[in-house]
Amino acid sequence: MRVEIWSDVACPWCYIGKARFEQGLAAFANKDDVEVVFRSFELDPQYPKGQTVEVLPMLAKKYGMSVEQAKQAEARVAANAADAGLRYLADGRDHGNTFDIHRLLHFAKTRGKQNELLDLAYAANFAEERSVYDAERLVELAVQAGLDEAEVRAVLADEQAFADAVREDEREAQMLGANGVPFFVLDRKFGVSGGQPAEVFTQALEEAWAARTPEPLKVVGGTAPEGAVCGPDGCEIP
């Protein structure tokens, strides 16, 4: 079974939701047969690359509240994070454009290191006051995740590398009806919106598992003589 998780490193509920999902997954009997893939979703794609802003004044402006009120709101998010076993800095974080992080997460997927890199990026952004809006920091995190430094630098230097993969994920999110993140899709049949309690994820996994009986496949190419196959009784001989 396959779970796709649309998320953004700049998204607090994605950080918390990932931990809650993992708790829900741990309680699921067939957890060893679940493949998890992370998909790209930018919360703020228009934010200029290379610039950052402090989170609290940004939130205050966005919601028309005082910086003090924004800080209280962030403290409530931090309490949710703590419940999920996560450290969360309610103050001192920055915000910026996440396109390059998404490109790098796609590269990490090709090397089997996507989950590692995402965990490190979340920790840097939310728990450690280490900005992820900086190319050198991304190189550092990627190497820590087990990726090759020269390859990582090449991906970051080439703005086209994995750019289509990021955009394709975002198109798919739209097709699937995701207006916000985190957004969880199970076998392209079941969806969970938001960082829900762990039990909701366990329930969704159980429902998707029970619904696994596949639709009949549409056969392309028929059983032409060129469709040479091997079965338990041997191989077709040309």
- The verdict on 64 binding a copy of itself (CB under 8 A) reads no
- The verdict on 96 binding a copy of itself (CB under 8 A) reads no
**Cα(237)–Cα(1) distance, rounded to whole angstroms?**
35
Nearer to a copy of itself, 59 or 123 (CB): 59
187: left (phi over 0), alpha (psi -120 to 50) or beta: left
CA 158, distance to chain mean position in Å, is 22
- The verdict on 237 binding a copy of itself (CB under 8 A) reads yes
Which amino acid type is present at position 75?
A
CB of 10 to a copy of itself, least distance (A): 8
> Residues 11, 130, 35, 143: what is their CA dihedral angle, to the nearest 10 degrees?
150
Residues 18-47 that bind a copy of itself (CB under 8 A): 32-33, 43-44
- The verdict on 17 binding a copy of itself (CB under 8 A) reads yes
- The verdict on 160 binding a copy of itself (CB under 8 A) reads no
Residues 123-152 that bind a copy of itself (CB under 8 A): none
CB of 57 to a copy of itself, least distance (A): 14
CB of 94 to a copy of itself, least distance (A): 16
154: left (phi over 0), alpha (psi -120 to 50) or beta: alpha
